[in-house]
Amino acid sequence: MLKMQSIRKSYRTDTIETHALRDFSLAVDEGEFVSVTGPSGSGKTTFLNIAGLLETPTSGQYLLDDEDVGNLNDRDRSRMRNEKIGFIFQGFNLIPDLSLFDNIDVPLRYRGLKGRERKKRIEKALEQVGLSARAKHLPAQLSGGQQQRVAIARALAGEPRFLLADEPTGNLDSLMARQVMELLEFINEWGTTIVMVTHDPDLARRAHRNIQIVDGQVADLQHGAASATAEIA
């Protein structure tokens, strides 16, 4: 599904060059649930941005579904992001002046789906996260947990094969966090590959395996209880 080989990502200012990822290699198989942990500034989010095609590596090779994304232009990268990848963020990143329905509609619009198909998918996604009755509400009218469920619904509506979650429970209380985690596990059971960045060791343990990133490199690999099929390339 995902294969990164010797990825390097550095940010340069006039005087300083910062290496966010160095010789970073990782493979994630179809259907896996991988948690990514590490101290702040270790490169977790940079890894997630590169995996989600939001940033390009300075060097190295990234294959997504066996396609070298380094060769793609912005339009093709955007299409691949839209069709194959779903995002869940710590801050939910819902658009505040759009209703829940319209928020979930955003990725479907960019895919060019017809109105009827979009409506069907949005209603189904809202039903999956238990918010069908709140379709017309604005994000600000919901609790944090509900907003994160909307963000998950937005990701689900596009039927992605690959879900990237950046501290999805970071802004939630423990009860809400548990609900969201259960929802992610449920989604994974249905075949969606999930990579989740988290600071919470309990949540990390619930994944199939945990990747630890330190100083921009994979520091450790722990196999979880279930299907641990990934390997460091």
State the Cα–Cα distance between residues 126 and 132, nearest whole angstrom: 5
Question: In Å, how far from its chain's centre is CA 60?
Answer: 21
Hey, which residues between 80 and 99 contact another protein (CB under 8 A)? Answer: 81-83, 87, 89-91, 93-95, 97-98
Backbone angles phi, psi at 143, to 5 degrees: -75, 170
Query: Residue 162 interacts with another protein (CB under 8 A)?
Result: no
Q: To the nearest whole angstrom, how small is the minimum distance from the Cβ of residue 177 to another protein?
A: 19
Q: Is the CB of residue 22 less than 8 Å from the CB of residue 215?
A: yes
Applying CB under 8 A, does 101 fall inside the site for another protein?
no
Work out whether 37 is an interface residue with another protein (CB under 8 A): no
Cβ count within 10 A of residue 230 = 20
Interface with another protein, residue 55, by CB under 8 A: yes
Out of 22, 79, 119, 137, the residue judged to bind another protein by CB under 8 A:
79
CA distance 59 to 216: 14
Q: Which two tokens stand for residue 190?
A: 């249905």
**Among candidates 127, 113, 114, which has minimal Cα distance to 156?**
127
The C-alpha angle with vertex 44 and arms to 39 and 50, in degrees rounded to 5, equals: 165
Among 30, 109, 141, 143, binds another protein (CB under 8 A): 109
Number of residues near another protein (by CB under 8 A) = 30
Contact present, 33 and 190 (Cβ < 8 Å): no
**Binding to another protein by residue 31, rule CB under 8 A?**
no
Residues 194-233 within binding reach of another protein (CB under 8 A): none
Q: Which is nearer to another protein, 96 or 191 (CB)?
A: 96
- Enumerate binding residues for another protein (CB under 8 A): 45, 49, 52, 54-55, 74-75, 78-79, 81-83, 87, 89-91, 93-95, 97-98, 106-107, 109-112, 154, 158, 166
